[in-house]
Chains A and B, each alone.
Chain A
Amino acid sequence: MTAADVLLLGLGAVAVGSALLVVTTKHLVRAGLYLVVCLGAMAGLYLVLTAELVAWVQVLIYVGAVVVLLLFAVMLTRAPIGASDDLDRPGWPAVLVGGGAGLGLAALLVDAFRWTTVDLPEAGTAERLGSDIFGSWVLPFEVLSVLLLAALVGAIVISRPDIGADRRDAWPGADRRDPGAGADRRDAGAGAGADRRGAGADR
């Protein structure tokens, strides 16, 4: 057991433990904060594995941006503060499938690698990784930028009710918030518009 092994074991235990808390906790906000711990431990694992740039990108994008977005979603969906009891489905299938996938993959990998030792390579700096990305992988990089733009436009189109088709008719019970508006949908255009403005304003 070298120092790298000890670090990998400790950080891996932190990551797995906090991931377990993410999927079992009763508090929505705490799930997001445990996710921060898990992703931070993953960044530490990347650092030990000499993937320095990936570790910092993980901290920047996951811990910095993705978790903040998830917490925004928790707040915007008016999640209750404190424990909520209706977060889980009854879950023997989940235990079976999840445990089977995790333990099966773990057994497969243990069987493949046993207790072998590999020398860590010298740390991959951002300079070498950057020359790889802009050398061998420049086309996927450009495609990814187009994908990001498409995701941005898609998110805007989805979240603005005044663009695109009227989606209220597609949902049975879509007018649950004010049952009166559902009485006559055909000529409720002005009323529905006012309702949507109200819904947009309280976001």
Chain B
Amino acid sequence: MRPVIPYVTAALLFGIGVYGVLRRRNAVLLLMSVELMLNAVNLILVTADTTVRAALPHTGQVFALFVIVIAAAEVGVGLAIVLQLYRLRASVAVDEVPLERIDA
């Protein structure tokens, strides 16, 4: 098994995720791009687990499972925020979100 193949796949996936986060305006598509980046990190962890001899075996796989759980929590909270944004603004375009608070 050549470890360089999954490593390069993960690097390209991470780059695509970064591109998506910077390029997309729709908040739901933004969350999808974040998922791509998290998956790239997971692939790096699993590949390192199979190719590197570690003191504790299977640590990379355990970390990958933890990252999956954290990603599930992130998606839950993120979607709640996106839906609240839609309810307030009737739009989920992230570059229309005002960042300063205006006192009424």
Contacts and interface: CB of A to CB of B under 8 A. Distances in A.
For this complex, into which size category does the number of interface residues on chain B fall?
35 or more
Interface of B: 1-9, 11-20, 22-26, 28-29, 31-33, 35-36, 39, 42-43, 46-47, 49-51, 56-59, 61-62, 64-66, 68-77, 79-84, 86-90, 92-93, 95, 98, 101-102, 104
A112 to B, nearest CB: 8
Contacts of B39: 38-39, 42, 62
B62 A132 contact: yes
Q: Which 7 A-B pairs have the closest CB atoms?
A: A102-B15, A98-B19, A23-B20, A94-B22, A12-B9, A105-B11, A151-B73
Given A15-B13, A20-B16, A110 B89 contact: no
B18 A185 contact: no
A12 B46 CA distance: 14
A77 to B, nearest CB: 5
B18 A45 contact: no
Q: Is the interface of B mostly helix, strand, loop or mixed?
A: helix
Interface string A1-42: 010110011001001100110110000100110010011001
Contacts of A128: 57-58
A102 to B, nearest CB: 2
Interface string A76-93: 111100000011110101
Contact of B77 (A9, A141, A144, A155): A155
8 contacts: A2-B1, A5-B5, A16-B16, A19-B13, A66-B35, A106-B15, A108-B11, A151-B76
B43 A89 contact: no
B36 A54 contact: no
Interface in A54-104: 54, 57-58, 61-62, 65-66, 69-70, 72-74, 76-79, 86-89, 91, 93-95, 97-103
A197 interface: no
Contacts of B101: 170
Given A91-B23, A116-B4, A105 B46 contact: no
A119 B32 CA distance: 34
A99 to B, nearest CB: 6
A137 B62 contact: yes
